[in-house]
Amino acid sequence: MEKKNSLFNIQPGDTLSFGIIRVAAGVQFSIYLPDGNDCKLKFYYTGRKEPACIIPLTNEYKRGGVYFITITGINKTDSRERSLMQILSQDFEYMYEASGREFVDPYAHIIHGKQVWGKVLNSSQKEFVRGGICLDEFNWEDDHQIMRPFDKVILYQLHVRGYTKHPSSGVKNKGTYKGLVEKIPYMKDLGINALLLLPCYEFNEIQEEVYIYNGRPITKDKAEEISSNDRDALQSYIRLNYWGYGAGNTYYLAPKTAYASDKSNPVSEFKNFVKAFHKEGIEVLMDIYFSPGTNLYLMTDCLRNWVLEYHIDGFRINNDVMPALALISDPVLSGVKIITSYWDDGLLHSQGSCSGKFLAEYNEGFMNDARKFLKSDEGMTGSFAERFRRNPSKYSVINFITHVNGFTMMDLVSYDIKHNESNGEKNRDGTDYNYSWNCGTEGKSRKQSISIKRMRQIRNAFIMLLLSQGTPMILAGDEFGNTQSGNNNAYCHDNNITWLNWKYGKREAEILEYVKKLISFRKEHPILHHPEYLPMSDNKRLGLPAISIHGTQAWRADYSNYNRMISFLLNGGYTDDGHGGTDDIIYIIFNMYWESKTFDIPSLPAGKKWYTAITTYDNMFYDIPAKKKKTEKSRVKAAKTDKKEMELQRKTVVPPRSIVVFIGR
């Protein structure tokens, strides 16, 4: 039965979807309040202190532990002849109250009052942090999720604000979703095809206010007691939660308003941002950190909301809070990319879920082993070999050497220890296990010999990453040598430490060009990103195994503790090159020893020849002759000449701490 109050016509709702949704009768508001007393739904004219309407949530609106109220009309004339949806969206904000406490709807799609990044709100300003209403129609045109398999993904991890906030970014809308759209041409030229966004839902970036008196931390109460005569000895600053992995005042269904250039409509701006990237073939994934104790239903609804409302292609989830079973068994989520820190093979087998390999593992195993091997630690050849070829049958793996939590690539080769003093925690925060090597000097150096070593190590690291069998993830800025000055835990910085500096010189441009070429090389050779696990056997009888591991001697891998050399042969005959043929044979030699080493090169099948493709020691990419169709005459000629030529291709000398890539065709 419909009722009237001073402002709205209302009736009980009946549609199971929390938050605000359109229904046939009007607009439904629903909330889960199983234990609340004297519950109310309160409407405010935007920015007004006193509510315009208070609707008591009585038992007639309650189903189980949920209150459902549908607004069917509004009791006022509107000369502009706006619809109910337009009036609610443009004029109102709302709050709930239970047991005398007013609070924001955890399902709110917009949060008002937090438009300014990093602003500390006083008690009166906090009263205006409220749920906004957005019932606008959005024209997605023909947009849809891209659903690219993980084996074809080049993932790019970035912070929405930090990516374009620096004055050198060259974009108009700095630090915003629109700013990212302006960088699409750059990203396409780089070669990435998927973004992994650090948290960009509405989190609280104000972590705490810190007070220092005479060099010692004190509480806020103590700071307020200090007399005006002693104020010069008092310092205060705001410790930020820049990354967004917060635990309080988080609204998981709302795009972060401070990241929008149009603060009045972050929903539309975020949708336009996703649509723009999809048009260019770039997927958008979100990193969502659920606080311990978050309601499972809310977590599931959050992810569904981003998929259905925003066309998000996937998520990285902390599955220590959200169970993996909830992720793979949900009808909506089972068709999008899900990245977690681990997957239980037994669980996936029992569920019969491969999800087209839309599941992936994200952990630091590859990073740690690759870093140790890169800096020539002993006993790492076996571990690195397993990481390099790892490609599970039930899910994919995300390989990275750097990510948001730790050194950047440039810092990895420039610092032996962390330098987090600017965090205000006396350098006690952040991991002490960086597995890094400064190449002879701590921090910045003008010595050419140091710079040459560092550039070589960066090239080696990108080879390890981009030629491995998993899905590679690049930390934004690494492709042009971004530095955080040795800070490996920059979670609290919103400044030049975390903003990417796009004004770079010859050295940085050289890294960028190298990474572009390497990404292109990976895409050209499907054997480097095979969709299935590559067996170390020749089950297709092509003359060579799909993948094999070698040492300085062909066919003899050396996993001894002192050894720092290893090679991989990948048989492109096991993959389709996309043009009706097969890929090349690729041989990758890693010499992480500090002296030159001679390596055997395995013999190729008759008619094929080894060509040097990449050498990291001198930063060379070589032109390889195009494939030619084999005729009977050419086969006879090849058989006569290959024996002599292969004599010259049986061995190669690889310079210290460098990698050589050969192509056999």
pLDDT of residue 335: 86
pLDDT of residue 231: 75
Among 43, 38, 45, smallest CA distance to 10 is for: 43
What residue segments make up the domains of the chain, in order of their start?
3-132, 206-240, 534-664
Strand, coil or helix: 551: coil
Our CA dihedral for 44, 48, 50, 51, rounded to 10 degrees, sits at -10
pLDDT of residue 259: 98
Among 439, 442, 397, smallest CA distance to 418 is for: 442
Whether 636 has a pLDDT exceeding 70, the answer reads no
- The mean pLDDT of the chain is 93
CATH topology assigned to domain 3-132: Immunoglobulin-like (2.60.40)
Among 664, 665, 661, smallest CA distance to 588 is for: 661
Whether 642 has a pLDDT exceeding 60, the answer reads no
**Which of 69-78, 344-353, 454-463, 639-648 bottoms out in mean pLDDT, i.e. has the lowest?**
639-648
pLDDT of residue 356: 53
Could you report the per-residue pLDDT of 581-601, keeping only the tens digit for each? 999 999 999 999 999 999 999
Q: What is the CATH number of domain 534-664?
A: 2.60.40.1180
First to last CA, the chain: 78
The span from the CA of 487 to the CA of 443, in Å, is: 11
Mean pLDDT of 259-270: 97
Chain-centroid distance, C-alpha 660: 30
Tell me the pLDDT band of 648, cut-offs 50, 70 and 90: low
Could you report the per-residue pLDDT of 41-55, keeping only the tens digit for each? 999 999 999 999 999
Tell me the pLDDT band of 580, cut-offs 50, 70 and 90: confident
Could you report the per-residue pLDDT of 277-316, keeping only the tens digit for each? 999 999 999 999 999 999 999 999 999 999 999 999 999 9
Could you report the per-residue pLDDT of 396-422, keeping only the tens digit for each? 999 999 999 999 999 999 999 999 999
Question: Quick one: residue 344, left, alpha or beta (phi over 0 = left, psi -120 to 50 = alpha)?
Answer: beta
Whether 61 has a pLDDT exceeding 70, the answer reads yes
Mean pLDDT of 97-102: 96
Query: How are beta strands 66-74 and 26-32 bridged, if at all?
Result: antiparallel
Q: Which residue has the tokens 């493709």?
A: 613
pLDDT of residue 396: 95
Whether 656 contacts 375, CB under 8 Å: no
**Which of 111-120, 162-171, 323-332 bottoms out in mean pLDDT, i.e. has the lowest?**
323-332
Tell me the pLDDT band of 10, cut-offs 50, 70 and 90: very high
Q: Do domains 3-132 and 534-664 have the same CATH topology?
A: yes
The span from the CA of 539 to the CA of 534, in Å, is: 10
Q: Which residue has the tokens 């109910």?
A: 84
- Alpha-carbon distance values, 35 to 38, 98, 131, 281, 299 (Å): 10, 9, 22, 47, 20
Interior angle at CA 123, CA 119 and CA 127, nearest 5: 90
Q: Residues with Cβ < 8 Å from 223, sequence gap 6 or more?
A: 211, 213, 234, 236
